[in-house]
Chains A and B, each alone.
Chain A
Amino acid sequence: MADMFDLAYDWLNTDPLGQAAYILIKIVAILIPLLLSVAYLTYAERKVIAAMQLRKGPNVVGPFGLLQPIADAVKLLFKETILPSGANRIVFLMAPMLTFILAMIGWAVIPFDAGLVLADINVGILYLFAISSLGVYGVIMAGWASNSKYPFLGALRSAAQMVSYEVSMGFVIITVLLLVGSLNLSDIVMAQQGDYGIFSWFWLPMLPMFVIFFISVLAETNRSPFDLPEGESELVAGFFVEYSSMTFALFFLGEYANMILMSAMTSILFLGGWLPPVDIAPFTWIPGPFWLIAKICVVLFFFLWVRATFPRYRYDQLMRLGWKVFLPFSLFWVVLTAGVLVAFDWVPHT
């Protein structure tokens, strides 16, 4: 038995085919828990919002309604995929796939623990930023290819919204990079390790940026109160009006996977990634990935909380907030951070 393990270990580490297989195993090990958590995020969303609105939420399928996401998935699978006759077929079908794929590939650079990362690249944070800025294509392509009014309006709104909020998100990332001196996500987490545990993470010194980043993430993932691209009350369901069955399910999965990815990004940039909140015994026994997951859950809870609390923004207010409030303020904060770092000679030299 031990020989077999040794053989397998050798094959996975030395043989080129084995290495490829090893990478595939790692990808599967990330994606399957991710898809499961997407399913249960929808369940959590319904339960949390129900609790906030004094309802019960899903409670019929299985104990506590725990099988509800599976029932939903099966229902969507068995429905008919409808292609509108005026639609541009190839682009119409590519849009949901693109959304889903983009939500998945961002996870390649997320570090779950020291050294526990699929691709430890030097420009990890830029990669994440690039992937998240591509999310808009799924929406635009869907809206255009549907060849219908509401989806098109939704797509136009989404394009303007995502481009606007990306700018301030970029500046927030720059302030964090100034403190770290590296674009590698593992370095960003390690830079937050300090004597004060939770208080040496970047959320405290960068508190205004943390707030701006969280709000920009809401806008970037099209979550309420910035869910104008799909605003049910005026655009029916926005860019995916014409989608049904699995094509719709892919959009849905993509949106929720994006939420989890963005929560992971927030946790890594501001909440110390896999680091325990207090650096003493009972907390350090718990392995890093659990801390990261716990932090992701906390951020996700904020997503749901915001959704249950705030009304939708009006479009001009959304643009004003992005361009006239966040952009000048984050620009000012970049200059301030850089000035303070240089004045006190705190510039990191890694």
Chain B
Amino acid sequence: MIIQALAFYLFAAVTVAAGVMVVSARNPVHSVLFLILAFFNSAGLFVLMGAEFLAMILVVVYVGAVAVLFLFVVMMLDINFVRMREGFLQYLPLGGMIGLILLVELVMVGGAWIVSPAAETAALHPAAPAGELHNTRALGGVIYTDYIYLFQAAGLILLVAMIGAIVLTLRQREGVRRQSISRQTSRTRAESVEIKQVPSRSGV
């Protein structure tokens, strides 16, 4: 038990510290690297809670794919660090106020938290009795039966976002030589090679 408590404090402390470093690091690449560290330690927290499937998915999706693309983009940006810091004091009051409003809202939401009756009944009858099923199976059972429409809707939203990104960046350029694999492989010797008998001393 004591090891679990120690592990929890370690993961939690590193997550919070890494989160602070994400916003305070001077170099944006370092920020992304700290973000990855924060993801990792959150995965550790998930494991401590017994949610091993969520922990692994967090690492695979966020650390393995999303953060790689983040890093990919951030590395290629040419950022002037001095100019980025210039307006810090000027924007401090506005930024501070937004932060304060968000904090108050969070406190209000947290203070006036009312669990909906539907959720309460759902909590009374959990989909899988703990210990009998692995949480991968339990999660699958819930997502693909009770919440299938929400799941499909989330998929559709992602699909629309993907199509939007493709439409925004797709452009047809003229004069680009493209390789057409099907045409290349369907070429035969007869249509691409011609043998000529060259008479000597006259050339082709």
> Which residues from chain A sit less than 8 Å from chain B, CB to CB?
88, 91, 121-123, 126-127, 129-130, 133-134, 136-137, 140-141, 144, 152, 155-156, 159-160, 162-163, 166, 170, 182-183, 316-317, 320
Contact = CB atoms under 8 A, between A and B. Distances in A.
Interface residues of B, number: 24
10 closest A-B pairs by CB: A133-B64, A126-B56, A130-B59, A130-B60, A122-B134, A123-B56, A159-B72, A123-B52, A144-B75, A130-B56
Contact of A123 (B36, B53, B63): B53
Given A144-B29, A166-B64, A183-B136, A137 B72 contact: no
Contacts of A123: 52-53, 56, 136
Contacts of B12: none
B52 A134 contact: no
Given A133-B63, A320-B181, 10 more contacts: A91-B29, A122-B52, A122-B53, A123-B53, A123-B136, A126-B56, A126-B60, A134-B64, A155-B75, A183-B53
Contacts of A129: 56, 60
Given A129-B60, A144-B75, A166 B65 contact: yes
B162 to A, nearest CB: 13
Nearest to A325: B181
A127 B56 contact: yes
Contact of B60 (A133, A141, A182, A317): A133
Interface of B: 27, 29-30, 33, 36, 52-53, 56-57, 59-60, 63-65, 68-69, 71-72, 75-76, 134, 136, 179, 181
A166 B36 CA distance: 18
B134 A156 contact: no
A203 to B, nearest CB: 24
Consensus secondary structure, chain A interface: helix
A136 B60 contact: no
A133 B64 CA distance: 5
B133 to A, nearest CB: 10
Contacts of B27: 88
A335 B197 CA distance: 56
Given A123-B52, A137-B36, A156 B72 contact: yes
B70 to A, nearest CB: 10
Given A126-B57, A130-B59, A159 B136 contact: no
A327 to B, nearest CB: 13
B29 A134 contact: no
A137 B62 CA distance: 13
